[in-house]
Amino acid sequence: MAESARSEIMARLRANSRPETAEQIGQELAALGFASPAAPPAADHCISFMANVLANRGTVALAADRAEAVRVVGRYLYNRFRTHKLVAGNDPRIAAMPWRDAGVLPRFGTAENGDSAALSYARLGVAETGAIVTWTGRANPGRNNLLPEDHLVLVNREDVVATLEDAWQRIRRDLPAGSWPRGINFIAGPSSTADVEAQLIMGAHGPRRWHVILVGDTPAQALEEATGLSRAGG
Amino acid sequence: MKHTSGEFMQHAEAALADPGKVQRRDLLGLFMPLARDAAAERYGDFGALRAHLKRVRTHTMENLEHYLTRFEEAALRNGNQVHFAATAEQLNNTVLSICQAHGARRVAKGKSMVTEETALNEQLLKSGLEVIETDLGEYIIQQAGETPSHIVGPALHKSLPEIRQLFLDRHKLGERTLEQAEDIVAEARSILREQFLQADVGIIGANALIAENGSTMLVTNEGNGDLCANLPPVLIVCTTLERILPRAEDAMALQRLLVRSATGQAQTCYTSFYSGPQREDDVDGPLATHIILLDNKRTDILASDYSEILDCIRCGACLNHCPIYVGVGGHAYGWVYPGPMGSVLTPLLSSLEQSNALPNACTSCGRCAEVCPANIPLPDLLRDLRQEENRRQLDSPRWRRGMRLHAWFLRHPALYRRLGGWTMSFLALLGRRRGGFRRLPFAAGWTGTRDFPAPEGGTFMQQYRSRVKGRKHRG
């Protein structure tokens, strides 16, 4: 049945397709180019990124380096849950961080139902939409984005790209042929729903809170500026 | 799903008789366009973005066999099983046989209009499977035994007290009272979390299929689709042929248009690209993944004069901007797809005989075409369907007589203008004192709910002529 459906459908499509070679089709497509990105809220794309994360109802913290990032995560966990419990994927970048300094002892592996917080090290940040990008694998199992109450995400300043097209260029560069992961996830906010009388409510099925920590040398005024922009734009 | 498009007028009258629901729809019709307009403005040149996607879609549709073949090759390389389904029934049977092959009992579903179109749940339930909808809106209407009233927000027709009562009836709540919307969401979250963890099969839809890498794009805010795609050991993606786009960048262009037009966001909380089963490096995810590509008359539509409706990206903007949809709501349309896009698609997916009321549920105001991110000329397609209805004599004899009379007058412009002029002068004279008419012969449909204003000044042609003459004198 399935095979006959396939040949039936393909035959109908052939009758409607233009008789062109793959090469001609490729040239036509290349000539179409790509779309333009959205107008950024600020000239500096790290400021745009933070402003958009805030507009997406995330929260943002700055950390000059990984040692400070550890302290930022520790403070966040203590303020939210009065614990230092954390789950993180087997990401060598997370494993190499000085967790003991902040009294945080991450459990490395897969998030389970009931975990309060998970930490991901994003592959990319996208300034255009305030999204972070992760992909599935040992370093960040798919569940870690979805099951915890709070999702904490580290992203390096130098990994923040301007546009969604730039993001795909980086994804292709960083993922050599044959190593394509089963899932590539753009995340832009805590899980939300507006299905009850169109009221926006956080924590529909996934994390209730989404906390992005920008790692690198970012002046505190940059975050203030981003906060102002997100209020003006929201 | 039972098809009752033929009873559109009866449904509409019933819908208008419930003031609470009318008010909620009015609010939706007020706020959704505001959110969309603000988002389009923040983007910049939204018109250029729409034009770009249209060019990409046209190119893709003209070479659909090429791109579908590329997608299939890439998806197979990624380790998926790819199935084709010519009809709704074939899709349902394929899903069922996959479930049976894996010995599945519980199925968790993400939001999928395609499986609404094929009435998949009925088939699975009949075969003894447990099927749970996990999008909150879909879950609510599944519990209520209803159908979606909106393609993006399927339960927006229900009020908070209605949903509360539904949950009180359906769940073991104990002392919980579910006062606020937050409580309702938290309740559904805890119930559905268990379902995700226990499900044997996850079913999701796709917002785009990417030919270059064989991935499917899933756009959601709740993350329920992602839970369906990551937790159960088997994943089935139910989708249709025309979702194909050549490159990941094209999916990004679509995503930019889709979410701004649907909810006014720049990006939804989750935009995910799933490409297959667990890799060597994975510690979670499905062990088997299936993609089912449904035709269900799409290849016929592609070959017809209505092919542009295949560019629809299911954002719901035409619904939110349509005075008829906002007036009567989605259930009046009597099948899966309501509003302007549904009024084009329903007759094409079923038959014009069954649903000729839908192309007539249109005032030709043109707002849908103004906002359609896919630049589909919806009012033109609806007009063409009405013309086809007339040609195939599906409209009422009385209507056809009226149309013939009207056509005869239009072919005799001198007579039309003279008669029109006389009528308007006569009405102007009669209505001079009151400024309008409560009742007019042959126009009870109009005057039944509002007054007909008395004409002031000449007809359009009279005014046009005198202005042209005036301009000539001045020039």
pLDDT digits (tens, 9 = 90+) for B189-212: 999 999 999 999 999 999 999 999
Structure token digits, residue A27: 């040239």
Cβ within 8 Å, pair B227-A29: no
Compare CB distances from A196 to B49, B184, B282 and report the shortest one's residue.
Answer: B184
| pTM for the structure as a whole | 0.94
Q: Looking at the predicted structure, is the pLDDT value of residue B254 above 90?
A: yes
Residue ranges of E strands in chain A: 59-63, 87-88, 107-108, 117-121, 124-126, 131-135, 150-156, 160-161, 183-187, 192-193, 201-202, 209-215
pLDDT digits (tens, 9 = 90+) for B259-312: 999 999 999 999 999 999 999 999 999 999 999 999 999 999 999 999 999 999
Would you state the pLDDT for residue B420?
87
Of A129, A153, A122, A134, the C-alpha closest to A230 is: A129
Cβ-based contacts of B24 with chain A (< 8 Å): 197
List C-alpha distances in Å: B336 to A37, B79, B92: 33, 32, 16
Would you state the pLDDT for residue B261?
98
Under the banding of pLDDT at 50, 70 and 90, the label for residue A20 is: confident
Would you state the pLDDT for residue B177?
80
List C-alpha distances in Å: B416 to A154, A210, B266, B410: 73, 67, 52, 6
Q: Looking at the predicted structure, is the pLDDT value of residue A1 above 60?
A: no
Would you state the pLDDT for residue A19?
81
Q: How many C-beta neighbours within 10 Å does residue B212 have?
A: 18
Structure token digits, residue B207: 């917002």
Cβ-based contacts of B31 with chain A (< 8 Å): 198
Cβ within 8 Å, pair A143-B231: yes
Q: Looking at the predicted structure, is the pLDDT value of residue B359 above 80?
A: yes
Under the banding of pLDDT at 50, 70 and 90, the label for residue B57 is: very high
Cβ-based contacts of A10 with chain B (< 8 Å): 65, 68-69
Q: Looking at the predicted structure, is the pLDDT value of residue B475 above 60?
A: no
* Mean predicted lDDT score pLDDT of chain A: 95
Under the banding of pLDDT at 50, 70 and 90, the label for residue B335 is: very high
Give the whole-angstrom CA distance, residue B328 versus residue B147: 15
Q: Under a CB-based contact definition with an 8 Å cutoff, are residues A93 and A121 in contact?
A: yes
Would you state the pLDDT for residue A2?
58
Residue of A nearest to B35 (CA): A234
Residues 6+ away with beta carbon under 8 Å from B105 = B129, B130, B200
Compare CB distances from A191 to B43, B78, B269 and report the shortest one's residue.
Answer: B269
Would you state the pLDDT for residue A176?
78
Would you state the pLDDT for residue B69?
96
Would you state the pLDDT for residue B441?
81
Under the banding of pLDDT at 50, 70 and 90, the label for residue B19 is: very high
Is A25 strand, coil or helix? helix
Cβ within 8 Å, pair A1-B90: yes
Q: Looking at the predicted structure, is the pLDDT value of residue B131 above 80?
A: yes
Cβ within 8 Å, pair B153-A198: yes
Cβ-based contacts of B140 with chain A (< 8 Å): 195-196
Under the banding of pLDDT at 50, 70 and 90, the label for residue A120 is: very high
Would you state the pLDDT for residue B263?
95
Read off the pLDDT of each residue in B93-109 and give the average, rounded to a whole number. 98
Would you state the pLDDT for residue B217?
98
Cβ within 8 Å, pair A183-B272: yes
Compare CB distances from A138 to B269, B283, B293 and report the shortest one's residue.
Answer: B283
Look at A105 and B234; give whichever has higher pLDDT.
B234
Cβ within 8 Å, pair B274-A35: no
Q: Looking at the predicted structure, is the pLDDT value of residue A234 above 60?
A: no
Would you state the pLDDT for residue B474?
63
Would you state the pLDDT for residue B440?
84
Residues 6+ away with beta carbon under 8 Å from B73 = B214
Least confidently predicted of A171-175, B33-37, B156-160, B169-173? B169-173
Under the banding of pLDDT at 50, 70 and 90, the label for residue A233 is: low
Min Cα distance B449 → chain A (Å) is 29
* Mean predicted lDDT score pLDDT of chain B: 94
Read off the pLDDT of each residue in B239-264 and give the average, rounded to a whole number. 98
Read off the pLDDT of each residue in B325-330 and give the average, rounded to a whole number. 97
Would you state the pLDDT for residue A216?
98
Would you state the pLDDT for residue B438?
86
Residues 6+ away with beta carbon under 8 Å from B258 = B207, B219, B313, B314, B315, B373
ipTM > 0.95, yes or no: yes
pLDDT digits (tens, 9 = 90+) for A21-57: 999 999 999 999 999 999 999 999 999 999 999 999 9
